[in-house]
């Protein structure tokens, strides 16, 4: 608890310091046709988390396996992320860097070797395909948390849900150092979440995470999930990881499917994410935030309960896929009903 308090205060101090610099150098998010906020908001959430991680590294360098390599990867991702936030880089340089850090991870032995016993009791070993699957996992985790950053408080809250779940999983699995590290990362995210949501200090001190921050969060999540699910010291089955990041993952996959089905670039931003759909359906931003966070908590709790009660991995995967099918069908139906309602209003006129 002492370390997490130090990390929280470090992140909070870094946040106030970084936002002043960001305003001076133009590292701010400006409103446009897709972004509806008011004013120029500093993009420093990721910077504050990164600075807090350096404090953690200096105080507890042994808590995370390969902590020095993690910091090298985090530094590279942060630098390119900040440049992207400032100058709006194209997709290829970002994907290229994500590929490089995935390669560094795998060179240290951090990669997926098995997907668990998801084939009706038979363990699915990846063999030579483990590196490819790991690369897609890194891309997926990073972009899932990047894409979900759409309304105030959402990315921070979903990050806290995932890292909070990891604290529980690592603690129950006897990996106390990794539980403490996950708790410290959660503590590093909290100051951003409080300022971003406007719950403390008001709108005057509002900050955004930026691509630098969402990339760092997603990368940290996949790093911990690989540690949690692979090797002799694993504390949960690979399928349980899906439940801990269910909402960002489902939202990303659903959005990509819809974009491709419409012939659009899967990486081109739009307003078709779950939070956009709920707001268009009449929910307020706060109601939308609460609904999505509750959904994420329910998924995470369900995953942990199934893990602790030794529910079959194939059953967990089947239920997860059915949940995604229900999710995708529901948002598709909501979209069609909205189109039908608009047409009805036009015809009535």
Annotated binding site: 146, 211
Measure Cα distances from 308 to 301, 302, 305 in Å.
11, 10, 5
3-state secondary structure at position 41 = strand
Which residues contribute to the annotated binding site for Mg(2+)? Answer: 146, 211
* Reduced 3-state DSSP string for 107-160: HCCCCCCECCCCECCECCECHHHHHHHHHHHHHHHHHHHHHCCCCCCHHHHHHH
What 56-64 contacts at long range (C-beta under 8 Å, 24+ apart), as own/partner pairs, is 56/3, 56/7, 56/181, 56/184, 56/188, 59/3, 59/6, 60/3, 60/177, 60/180, 60/181, 60/184, 62/177, 63/177, 63/178, 63/180, 63/181, 63/184, 64/177, 64/178, 64/181
Q: Which residues contact 227 (CB under 8 A, 6 or more apart)?
A: 65, 110, 178, 233, 234
């Amino acid at each position: 608890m002492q370390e997490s308090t130090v990390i929280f205060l470090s992140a909070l101090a870094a946040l106030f310091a970084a936002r002043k610099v960001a305003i001076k150098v133009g590292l701010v998010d400006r409103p446009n046709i897709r972004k509806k906020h008011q004013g120029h908001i500093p993009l420093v959430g990721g910077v504050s988390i990164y600075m807090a991680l350096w404090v953690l590294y200096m105080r507890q360098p042994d808590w995370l396996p390969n902590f020095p390599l993690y910091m090298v990867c985090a530094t590279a991702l942060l630098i390119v992320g900040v440049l992207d936030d400032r100058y709006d880089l194209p997709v290829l340089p970002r994907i290229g860097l994500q590929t490089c850090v995935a390669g560094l991870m795998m060179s240290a032995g951090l990669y997926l070797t098995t997907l668990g016993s998801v084939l009706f009791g038979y363990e699915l070993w990846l063999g030579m395909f483990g590196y490819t699957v790991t690369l897609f996992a890194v891309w997926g985790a990073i972009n899932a948390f990047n894409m979900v950053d759409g309304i105030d408080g959402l990315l921070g809250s979903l990050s806290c849900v995932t890292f909070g779940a990891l604290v529980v999983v690592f603690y129950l699995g006897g990996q106390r150092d990794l539980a403490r590290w996950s708790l410290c990362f959660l503590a590093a995210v909290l100051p951003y979440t409080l300022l971003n949501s406007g719950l403390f200090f008001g709108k005057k001190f509002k900050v955004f995470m930026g691509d630098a921050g969402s990339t760092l969060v997603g990368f940290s999540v996949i790093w911990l999930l690989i540690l949690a699910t692979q090797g002799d010291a694993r504390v949960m089955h690979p399928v349980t990881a899906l439940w801990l990041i269910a909402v960002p993952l489902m939202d990303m996959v659903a959005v990509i499917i819809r974009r491709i089905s419409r012939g659009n670039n899967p990486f081109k931003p739009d307003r078709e994410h779950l939070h956009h759909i709920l707001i268009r359906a009449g929910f307020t931003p706060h109601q939308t935030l609460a609904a999505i966070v509750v959904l994420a908590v329910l998924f995470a709790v369900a995953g942990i309960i199934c893990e602790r009660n030794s529910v079959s991995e194939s059953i967990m995967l089947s239920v997860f896929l059915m949940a995604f099918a229900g999710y995708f069908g529901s948002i598709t139906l909501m979209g069609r009903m909205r189109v039908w309602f608009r047409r009805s209003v036009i015809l009535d006129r």
